[in-house]
A and B are shown apart, each in its own frame.
Chain A
């Protein structure tokens, strides 16, 4: 029984090779995750800027003509 299991062991001891292979694939994973994080930061910045611009446009629209009762677009 044990002989069958041992016969299947790979060339390099799995616990050493496994670390290196895992490391290489983690690098790939890390790239994608870091990129997601960068994009998240950018998205929040865009959201903030868009909110500012929306407030600006509402203010200038109000200044031009006093609007009737408007429902807020911001939840």
Chain B
């Protein structure tokens, strides 16, 4: 199982590195969105709740771009059939795709968070950075799991680009709630406190529950 996941993950990352079809687009989208926000809000710097809101909405919508493309190549070029023929545990594909999406999200944040700090964020990030990274990572797990599940659900439909975000966004509202509420004190004008534990617990619980559910149902999406 572990070797299958490793092999699949290796393939995913290799394909992404060669075609560069998801991550550069997601990152560029995030930076452009920050610029749009500057003009939409007519503000030079934001902090606290506003900053948390802008950051999370941008990250979420950039993630949608990646989610939309996650299974498209497999669907269009027969990757599913090849995988189904192999005598391996089918959940391996779920794990590999989710880990790949997680990797894309991490790279996205490596670009987007500094860009945000540069362009829009008022207070400096320095002290809050470790806490922020923890929150981002917890939320990324949730987005990766739900993103993979939703991507697999809509890839065979006729309006996959439309249905993907429509399904994923309501499902990700708890992640936005937990992430934004946890991040808001970190980006505040006053000295950064650590995020309230309840939001970290919410994110953790969300990741756990949906991780287990995704693992349980994914097989049913792949059989044919």
User: Does chain A touch chain B in the assembled complex, meaning CB atoms less than 8 Å apart?
Assistant: no
